[in-house]
Structure 1
């Protein structure tokens, strides 16, 4: 007997393939495939427009994906996520990042608010000089403990920086030395971000940072450390004073942790109000995701398009281009969020997945990328769905021509991917021909402030979760990062049985 999920996929595979030109014959298409998520802001409502009209989603496909979502119990799994149930079944715990924003189980929301109040007190004390003059912060973490803060500081601190923040994640000492070179040890604090407070890359960098402080005349290096962790007892053992430990819940995963005390460097750089605005923008998306059904649910609709291109059209990658210099790290952030969450080969029940899971996420910044990778997007043999992200309000105070040209290029690229054409004077030169019918989506922010950034991140968190539900996988574990780390520890311990190539490399590098 065929399952309802299999039946839904069969119906989707049977849906006719239409071109974008055919789909745009519908005069109401843009309105039907666009939607806005809004929140209250000074001067009136603000928000983000999500336009998926330049994708191949049709009414028939949308109906088919709605049937698939119902067969996969999307509503039930969404409720489990937002209610604090142990939806991360392989690790036996909840995934409560939304509770950090005020949407979740009441006890978890209350705990998050209390921990935020603790963090706010420390942030404001530092800003007021209670811990001495602090001009610099070196934030040490890895993975989600670094990528989220790096993205937010880079996006928001251009003209708001109250403290100069440097995020260091790489164990390569060059990264840490670059941060040292930019900071005065006499006015520098160190934030150590580690859920377990045992992550080898983070703790090694932290030891070197304390040595740098001591070597440069700081009498009490440990007194300059703030610990961001779900294991406060380990931070105390390491030597951090309890008053400078900012805990977060064990149920907040690393790549979803920017909303917790891992956001400390963001609040320190741009102020508590801007960090709180990030939470508010994310909460607006949470509420939309919680309260909206079917194709009108914008993160779910994005997941429908993702599944269409990966499962029905065989696309292995998705490109993301931010037409805003402040979002230069956004593609990197999405790589971890999407590929670590959904790069799985078994279902939640431990069975082999019967098709592709996460697409390979990649991208860059417009307009730089236009002069590099867009050649392949327009004329290459790969079909690559593209996401464009832009802000109506500029991030600079220069001649408006700068931002106008930026936005013009962003919108023109989407139009060109869809329309195609031939740029030869006679319209016949194949080298100047563009096939067109290439999909894109556009996320257009009113501005790029804390609320918009928070909303963008939360949108992609929920998009990732929705994809996982449609695939039947658990997006909240990440065992794929562990095997190589275990082997590295074996090498450090002088053990391990390796292949001839690895053995030769270790010997050549003097590690064997």
Structure 2
């Protein structure tokens, strides 16, 4: 039975958000929730409360409670690869065996972090790609400014310019390499590692490898190998030794606080009734927008410089997890799945892309992420202006400006008035953090993980595989090997022009 059929049918009707506030007195209460230092307000989304009730019923029909229990209990939730998804065990939530393995790995990582923090090392070049780089980069950029450990340089791109810049910023004698690859066969990562090792004049035995295949890392010659479980997916791996850069830069206690914050969100997701469960409510709004209303984009704008990498991190988490057209059982999916996640940093984005958000023809929900307390000691006017802009943007998207008001502002010039008219009724939500510390950042990331998982359950998707990234890799390897796989004329000409 298609438990989302009624949702698609309901999506055909236009929604006036402003009218919903008048018609639904309890709207703000039902579409707001708080936990773990996060305050979520979904009331300005085009989500009527009767539709919310339908979506909550769909959670039951899709067996969200059962899937949630299997995820958090370390049971099989990734059928295409036949395994569990045990990233929550890295923060202490999972089966007894998985948690024990993760704890042992955390102790190993803490020991290496302590060694690097108390020795002569000044810089770490962390080499990975995808989840092996995006997560660590987010952690260090958000929390590392005041860290007292070695500086961290994250390199992911195979473009030599990325590695060149990192190498130019360090001294070879006091720099160590951290190499992260789940399979320890990732071509971009191993190529960057070999080049960096040669440029630094270093020894393989000084390198730290983080992988689910420690045998391969040992064969490569890494002197220190930190393993993590095969059942920890790349985009969920920052909780494992992959997050080592945070422990190196800010200390093992910061990494422990990050995990503790995530564990608190795990408990909230597990124990809180669905109608006031933060990840569940957000996921229902996501499914309604994309699947019910056909809104295929979702913008995320971080009104805090420390979260500037959050949109990029969420792009992988959400689109690699739920950007699929095949159901968990192998059949085709009905309706839209994950929207295109994009975004930027406020207030910079206001002077770049917000023109389209306010007056363009492409409409999709906008999510504002802000922090109540600043992380700097500069005059308070900076943070007051930042938050005022954040809140005003959401208000403006909803309020708009009528033609009559624009005409009055335009001295009777109708053409100018049309240009100054805003339709309003554009959906947005706000996620306000009490502060940005390690624990709250951990809760924030776990919130997005469980939100993505909940949407996947409703849509019938397996969010833990990523077969769609493989075909391009296969063809790239064929090109490098000089194999002719019958490429199209455009590709053949580009290869000839570039001489690869």
Q: Tell me the TM-score normalized by structure 2.
A: 0.95
Q: Is the 8 A contact 1:389 1:443 kept in 2?
A: yes
Contact between 1:134 and 1:163, CA under 8 Å: does it hold in 2?
yes
Instruction: Quote the residue 2:206 is aligned against.
Output: 224
Q: Secondary structure at the match of 2:145?
A: coil
Cα distance in 1 for residues equivalent to 2:474 and 2:168: 33
Structure 2: tracts of 5 or more residues without a match: none
Counterpart contact for 2:9–2:292, Cα < 8 Å: no
1:185 counterpart (162, 172, 176): 172
Aligned match of 1:239: 221
Q: Which residue of 2 aligns with 1:506?
A: 495
Which residue number corresponds to residue 146 of structure 2? 159
The correspondence of residues 6-155 of structure 1 with structure 2, limited to 5 A, is: 8-9=6-7, 12-13=10-11, 17-25=14-22, 26-38=24-36, 47-129=37-119, 133-155=120-142
Q: Equivalents in 1 of 2:11, 2:373: separation in Å?
A: 41
What is the aligned counterpart of 2:424 among 398, 417, 436?
436
Distance 2:4 2:355 in 1: 38
Shift of 1:396: 1.7
| Greater mean alpha carbon deviation, residues 316-325 or residues 422-431 | 422-431
Instruction: Determine if contact 1:8/1:67 at 8 Å carries over to the other structure.
Output: no
Aligned to 1:426: 408
Higher mean Cα deviation, 261-270 or 139-148?
Answer: 261-270
Task: Find the counterpart in structure 2 of residue 41 from structure 1.
Answer: none
Instruction: Provide the secondary structure at the position in 2 that maps to 1:398.
Output: coil
Counterpart of 2:320 in structure 1 is 340
Return the alpha-carbon distance in structure 1 between the equivalents of residues 361 and 481 of structure 2: 47
Offset, 1:395: 1.9
- Secondary structure, in 3 states, of the residue corresponding to 1:258? helix
Counting matched residue pairs gives 490
What is the rounded CA distance, in whole Å, between the counterparts of 1:502 and 1:13 in structure 2? 41
User: Which range moves more in the overlay, 495-504 or 114-123?
Assistant: 495-504
Q: How does 1:280-319 map to 2 (within 5 A)?
A: 280-319=260-299
- Structure 2 CA distance for aligned equivalents of residues 140 and 207 of structure 1: 11
Note the C-alpha offset of 1:31: 2.4
- Please tell me whether the aligned partners of residues 125 and 177 of structure 2 are also in contact (alpha carbons under 8 angstroms): yes
CA distance in 2: counterparts of 1:289 and 1:469, whole angstroms = 14
- DSSP-derived class of the 2:154 partner: strand
Question: Are positions 1:388 and 2:361 aligned together?
Answer: no
Displacement after TM superposition at 1:335 (Å): 0.4
